[in-house]
Structure 1
Amino acid sequence: MQIYKIFRADEWAAFDSQGETLGAAIDLSDGFIHFSTASQSAETAAKHFAGVEGLMLLAFDADALGEALKWEISRGDALFPHLFRPLKLDEMLWVKPLPFVDGLHQFPADMA
């Protein structure tokens, strides 16, 4: 199963250049890296990135992240994937821009 991480442009640039990350400010504050499933991603973008342009969407294989990935109850009592270790760039399946058009982020049609 693929899971997704949304980064602002500067967060993506730092991850890309350093090869690993502890996540965005909210991740550092919470002590884990927040991910979303395909069905959760649009709501995550609307809630945490409303109006933000220049976002990047990163895809990862949940199983490949190992035992440090925990599924925990969060927004709406849904299970969300949380990673309790640094995320490595070579674990990423792909990265794509997340355009902001007509007030909504436009997610790729091929999200699994």
Structure 2
Amino acid sequence: MSSSTSLIYKIVSEHEWVAAEAEGRFIGSAVDIDDGFIHFSTAEQAPETAERHFAGRKGLLLVAVEAEALGEALKWEPSRGGALFPHLYDVLSVAAVARVDPLPLDDSGAHVFPSHVTDGVES
């Protein structure tokens, strides 16, 4: 886990997030529900997550969450290549969300991350 930032990121569809905002909480996407926790990524991990799991998908949002606001329900567990990923074993309160940004595609079909995510991240 990077100590330089306390933000973690969730990639969601716009319709999933609109529903979450209306309810005040996000219970997770289908894969989260199946796995029993909400998958998050660090700023360093998010681009690969987008490429692996959301390639070419339009209508996505990048939800930034303060990790500390999630308390003990947030666990850092090994996943891709043994790297530690943040997993939330609870619903996500929209009150814990720091910001929501669009995650558009560029001309090649790759997701374009906001500069506040990519600044300082080695490529």
Match of 1:58 among 60, 63, 68: 63
Within 2, Cα distance between the matches of 1:64 and 1:17? 20
C-alpha displacement of 1:95: 0.3
SS at structure 2 position matched to 1:52: coil
Greater alpha carbon shift after TM alignment, 36-45 vs 102-111: 102-111
- Unaligned runs of 5+ residues in structure 2 are 1-5
Q: Which runs of 4+ in 1 moved over 2 A?
A: none
SS at structure 2 position matched to 1:57: strand
- TM-score by length of structure 2 reads 0.88
Quick check: 2:17–2:26 contact (8 Å CA) kept in 1? no
Within 2, Cα distance between the matches of 1:9 and 1:63? 25
Within 2, Cα distance between the matches of 1:59 and 1:53? 18
Q: % of aligned pairs identical?
A: 54
Structural mapping, 1:15-26, within 5 Å? 15-26=20-31
Match of 2:112 among 93, 100, 106: 106
C-alpha displacement of 1:61: 1.0
Match of 1:67 among 65, 72, 83: 72
Is residue 33 of structure 2 the alignment partner of residue 28 of structure 1? yes
- TM-score by length of structure 1 reads 0.96
Q: What's the C-alpha RMSD, in Å, of the aligned pairs?
A: 1.0
Within 2, Cα distance between the matches of 1:110 and 1:86? 25
Within 2, Cα distance between the matches of 1:16 and 1:96? 14
SS at structure 2 position matched to 1:56: strand
Within 2, Cα distance between the matches of 1:13 and 1:76? 33
Within 2, Cα distance between the matches of 1:80 and 1:55? 20
Within 2, Cα distance between the matches of 1:16 and 1:63? 20
